[in-house]
Structure 1
């Protein structure tokens, strides 16, 4: 096992806990789309890069309805902790979404900007349906987009800042097989620099 980095306090979710929850989410998604997809239809999974790549890969292996994967890369953070409120497309999807079922896969919903932006953007592409799946969700009081919620959610992490399993801090720690909580003094130091 990869040791806990010095910038982290503790492991919030172990590799085993994450694997179990990902399988449960895939079962929820499979159950939902088994009722929705008609003969010949398939689901388009759209992971948001970079953060959701591990989650999306593991999740897709357990979704038991026909699916394909397309990617989108976005940027919305001005530093390691704070969303700028402006979402920029770095790399767009390539597949047509017209009259297709789309599932956006994201690592975390924090302010709600990214998922709200993507949902609105994808609606202009005339999909048959759009749903969202996030591994982690932060408290709704942090949401800048009122009443936005994900359709499928792994864990509610409260006020914590976390790394691992695709989530980064300064582009590091995405490779951790677990989710760890960043030390408060690290967060305080970054906030002082603003």
Structure 2
């Protein structure tokens, strides 16, 4: 069923801008510096979590100044909805990471079910160490595990439904040049 584009446009028109493009670029630069300092000698395999991590990865990767192998994986709980369900693998990693460090790039750490499942998958499949980087870490007490934290975080975020910079609202606005919160959500 086609989306109601008038509604999709209205969501953007009414949304609150939480972070501008400039604020996000500065945060990504800081994250890149931390990753460069810690992973430059580790020969990591880097996985971008699709689709949400695509824009963040595209901005982050050119700032990593060491050799790395890049691939992607696609696991989701949302399937273009606004609430998550069971983890669904659309594409598992196709590049070997046995006895290698892995860096997982994702858009957001919300409740953390997806990131935890991907991290566990990589550990059980033979990764030496799994590192995680997220653009946004949503602040609330509903994390999947109390100890679940990303190794590298761009920015914290209030507990609202957000979109932009790779995150979507019903499949739209991943291309928004900032982080926006849906009015009323």
Same fold (TM over 0.5): yes
Match status 1:31 vs 2:32:
no
Q: Which runs of 5+ in 1 are unaligned?
A: 188-194
SS of the residue aligned with 1:61? helix
SS of the residue aligned with 1:71? strand
Give 1:99 deviation, angstroms: 1.2
Distance (Å, rounded) in 2 between the aligned partners of 1:31 and 1:144 = 29
- What is the aligned partner in structure 2 of residue 190 from structure 1? none
Give 1:83 deviation, angstroms: 1.6
- What is the aligned partner in structure 1 of residue 62 from structure 2? 61
SS of the residue aligned with 1:20? helix
Q: CA RMSD in A?
A: 1.7
- What is the aligned partner in structure 2 of residue 135 from structure 1? 135
Q: How many residues align?
A: 176
- What is the aligned partner in structure 1 of residue 4 from structure 2? none
- What is the aligned partner in structure 2 of residue 16 from structure 1? 22
Query: TM-score, normalising length from structure 2?
Result: 0.89
Match status 1:114 vs 2:117:
no
Give 1:103 deviation, angstroms: 0.4
Give 1:30 deviation, angstroms: 0.4
Give 1:117 deviation, angstroms: 0.4
**Mapping 1:37-48, distance limit 5 Å:** 37=42, 42-48=43-49
Distance (Å, rounded) in 1 between the aligned partners of 2:10 and 2:19 = 17
Give 1:79 deviation, angstroms: 6.0
Give 1:144 deviation, angstroms: 2.5
Q: Deviations over 1:18-41 (max 9, x none)?
A: 11111110000000113x52xxxx
Query: TM-score, normalising length from structure 1?
Result: 0.85
Runs of 4 or more, structure 1, over 4 Å off, are none
* 2:80–2:169 Cα contact (<8 Å) kept: no
Match status 1:126 vs 2:126:
yes
